[in-house]
Structure 1
Amino acid sequence: MPPILQRLQQATKMMSRRKILLLVLGCSTVSLLIHQGAQLSWYPKLFPLSCPPLRNSPPRPKHMTVAFLKTHKTAGTTVQNILFRFAERHNLTVALPHPSCEHQFCYPRNFSAHFVHPATRPPHVLASHLRFDRAELERLMPPGTVYVTILREPAAMFESLFSYYNQYCPAFRRVPNASLEAFLRTPEAYYRAGEHFAMFAHNTLAYDLGGDNERSPRDDAAYLAGLIRQVEEVFSLVMIAEYFDESLVLLRRLLAWDLDDVLYAKLNARAASCELREARQRLLRRCFGDEPVLRPAAQIRTKQLQPWQPSRKVDIMGYDLPGGGAGPATEACLKLAMPEVQYSNYLLRKQKRRGGARARPEPVLDNPPPRPIRVLPRGPQGP
């Protein structure tokens, strides 16, 4: 045999022996680990024999007592509809206004528990318009009630107020051609403090929250800071209209509700054509100075969210719902789109029947202020 072949054969034998030796050593090591591993403190950590048990916390029960401060032109009607439907599904009592207050708790007067219809007391849920009064609400609502409200970027809110109340607020009626831009150029020419519905022309959110709307944020920063502290102290959640879906996620977690409990349809929304960007900037400068510093939640220009703008240039004031449907699905859809006044009247009739003796005749309140109500057309409308 040639010398080269002999050397190759010897090398092959040496490699085979090494492989066999390594294999034997490996098997011995694994066997030792398996038999002695139970005595090694690190073995269970490196080689767990089973998955650790899951530690699921028990689900929280749904929270059933909620007071929602429905502020003006902030998408509060949609939140109200969510609360109305939840209360009806769970057979809860909804606080509803006295008939002489119409569908709001005698706004713009300070809220009083006497404004609540006796057939709807004691309530679990409150969601109609009122001017916030903490002491009166705590006297009406049960202990443990969760307080929630909703706010909106102030310039956009004012545009909506001007459009909606231009025939009811004296300051708005004085403006030629109902021009928002004209009002913002010289608001002092039209605004009169103390007039009926004057709060819609000046610091409406402060008024709804129970504050003094004549105190200017520019001139009295300490008062504004105190009002903000009060809001943060009382309300477990302050929703933001521009982040409505995100706010609903927080509301659902706060109340431990199901996803079906927070389904909604847009109600009482405005068309996007109503927006006036230059007028909005002028309004912000007037209220907050030349360089307004708004909280991030109010800077909706950084988001591509428009949850309250209908797809067509039509003011949707409500829905004239056809009758004749049947079944739980049809009823659920009707309630989803039912306007505020109709739903309030429906719940009042239902709770009167359920309350029996509680539905006694109500005392007449002294001269409650009139409220503008837009009546929905019931017939087909022309172009």
Structure 2
Amino acid sequence: MSWIKGFKCTTMIRGLIPWILMTNVMLVLYSLSSPNQLTVRVPQEETCPLSATKSPQKSKALVPQSSKSEECSPKVNVMFMKTHKTASSTILNILFRFGEKHKLRFAFPDGRNDFFYPSPFLCSQVKGYRPGECFNIVCNHMRFNQAEVAKLLPPDAVYITILRDPVDLFESAFHYYHRVVPLTWGIGGENKLAEFLNSPQSFYNPKAFNSFYLKNLLFFDFGFDNNLEANDSQIEKGIQHLAGHFHLVLIAEYFEESLILLKDLLCWSMEDILYFKLNVRKSSFVSRLDPEMRAKALQWNWADWKLYQHFNATFWARVEVYGRERMQRDVRELRRRNAEMKAICIEGKDAVEAQKIQNSRFLPWQPVGEKSILGYNMRQDIDPKFRTICEKMLTPEIQYLSDLGVSLWITRLWGWLTNKIY
């Protein structure tokens, strides 16, 4: 029997080798990509002047179809706090298209597709940043640091973000990131998520590598301590801090209503907010939590739940001000326009598995060791006048960033390494 135990032990060790190698590679890549962290920080008062930002030419394309009596001007200075696993990639595509169309200036990272996440954001992480420079749009993943972000944008910038039900977000993050979170590697059983929720403290260490993916991920993304106790007053203080800085918080479960409020706030047109769902998981990879597991996930992510509750309430208060009937009418119009674009652009009108995507341009980034994220095939017989807009609406984040001139050598090296290992 001893040789059987020895064999099992050897097999387990061999199984851990790729994970250990992956962890070390991640640490090396992070250290290679972080020299700008040592840059001297710019004083708070050295912000960009409002007059330095680009404004689009007044044209028919920029005049929104609004029911407001007075004509408004489209807003072009936008900070989008891109949260994880919240349909934020779809919002990103909308911002990319608007910014590119009107030749606005993006603040982009250098070498990768995020601002050195999970480190707190610093202006020095922006490619080519010089003190006092102005940008129109900031929208890549970061750990939010309002004081630093404010240095990049003029005072009239609109701050927006998006939240998702914390239970669904936790489930999504647990499965999407589990291969890069060493804390999950030792969880046994067929249902690792249930095992974790039944005894989270047995598997969780707040100081462990990438542990933030496993608890209050939203609160962490916004720059706060994600390990606060449920009754800690800092949770409410953090929520009020965000309420004082964000002009609109979208809700993923009401995505279309969120876009209508966004259109109204920014004075954009319906054309500007058309979208296809990007970075969506195949349904077979989604765990359906029963009420007991949902309750445990909620308790474990209590700070995120309080955050979500607060901004869900403010969201519906805004819908009331906008008008329920008006909202329903505009949502119907958005759905109609999206359906038209699907018929024009997408082969089969629906997303397909990664293996069935014919053009690598439209292949979305996949979780480590999986092919669970769906993508699209563009119609071959597409009307030439729609080809450009269809390509842009279907293009995933990584490819679109490359189109916009962002160097992604670290991100691409990471993808190549994970493909080789798996």
Interval of TM-score (by shorter of Structure 1 and Structure 2): 0.5 to 0.7
Secondary structure of 2:242's counterpart equals: helix
Q: Distance in 2 between matches of 1:374 and 1:74?
A: 26
How far 1:348 sits from its partner (Å)?
A: 1.8
C-alpha distance after superposition, 1:156-203 (max 9, x if no partner):
000000110010012222322561101111111211112221110111
The aligned runs of 1:112-151 (5 Å cut-off) are: 112-118=122-128, 122-151=134-163
The aligned runs of 1:323-334 (5 Å cut-off) are: 327-334=384-391
Q: Which residue does 2:369 correspond to in 1?
A: none
Q: Which residue does 1:188 correspond to in 2?
A: 201
Equivalent residues, number: 293
Secondary structure of 2:178's counterpart equals: coil
How far 1:296 sits from its partner (Å)?
A: 9.2
Secondary structure of 2:405's counterpart equals: helix
Q: Which residue does 1:200 correspond to in 2?
A: 213
Q: Which residue does 2:84 correspond to in 1?
A: 72
CA contact (8 A) 1:165 1:172 kept: no
CA contact (8 A) 2:378 2:390 kept: no
Which range is displaced more, 238-247 or 269-278?
269-278
Change (3 A) 1:348 1:369: closer
How far 1:257 sits from its partner (Å)?
A: 0.2
Q: Which residue does 1:355 correspond to in 2?
A: none
How far 1:250 sits from its partner (Å)?
A: 0.5
Match of 2:151, as an amino acid? R
Q: Distance in 2 between matches of 1:370 and 1:135?
A: 31
Is 2:295 the partner of 1:238?
A: no
The aligned runs of 1:330-341 (5 Å cut-off) are: 330-341=387-398
Secondary structure of 2:280's counterpart equals: coil
Change (3 A) 1:148 1:326: same
Q: Which residue does 2:94 correspond to in 1?
A: 82
Secondary structure of 1:257's counterpart equals: coil
Is 2:150 the partner of 1:93?
A: no
The aligned runs of 1:334-349 (5 Å cut-off) are: 334-348=391-405
Structure 1 segments unaligned to the other structure (5+ residues): 1-54, 299-304, 353-363, 378-383
Change (3 A) 1:232 1:294: closer
Structure 2 segments unaligned to the other structure (5+ residues): 1-66, 314-330, 336-348, 354-371
Secondary structure of 1:132's counterpart equals: coil
Q: Distance in 2 between matches of 1:370 and 1:211?
A: 29
Match of 2:194, as an amino acid? E
Q: Which residue does 1:276 correspond to in 2?
A: 288
Change (3 A) 1:270 1:346: same
Tell me the TM-score normalized by structure 2.
0.62
How far 1:295 sits from its partner (Å)?
A: 5.8
Match of 1:117, as an amino acid? K
Secondary structure of 1:277's counterpart equals: coil
Q: Which residue does 2:177 correspond to in 1?
A: 165
The aligned runs of 1:14-93 (5 Å cut-off) are: 57-93=69-105
Q: Which residue does 2:115 correspond to in 1?
A: 105
Change (3 A) 1:147 1:296: closer
C-alpha distance after superposition, 1:216-236 (max 9, x if no partner):
2x231x111111101111100
Secondary structure of 1:67's counterpart equals: strand
Q: Distance in 2 between matches of 1:348 and 1:169?
A: 31
Match of 2:274, as an amino acid? L
Tell me the TM-score normalized by structure 1.
0.68
Q: Distance in 2 between matches of 1:371 and 1:131?
A: 22
Q: Percent identity?
A: 33
Q: Which residue does 1:49 correspond to in 2?
A: none
Change (3 A) 1:370 1:105: farther
Q: Which residue does 1:36 correspond to in 2?
A: none
Q: Distance in 2 between matches of 1:282 and 1:124?
A: 41
Match of 1:283, as an amino acid? A
Larger Rg: 1
Match of 1:343, as an amino acid? Y
CA contact (8 A) 2:90 2:276 kept: yes
Q: Distance in 2 between matches of 1:191 and 1:370?
A: 30
Match of 1:191, as an amino acid? Y
How far 1:71 sits from its partner (Å)?
A: 0.3
CA contact (8 A) 1:96 1:348 kept: no
How far 1:95 sits from its partner (Å)?
A: 1.5
Q: Which residue does 1:31 correspond to in 2?
A: none
How far 1:272 sits from its partner (Å)?
A: 3.8
Q: Distance in 2 between matches of 1:247 and 1:227?
A: 23
Q: Distance in 1 between matches of 2:405 and 2:289?
A: 41
Is 2:262 the partner of 1:251?
A: yes
How far 1:319 sits from its partner (Å)?
A: 4.5
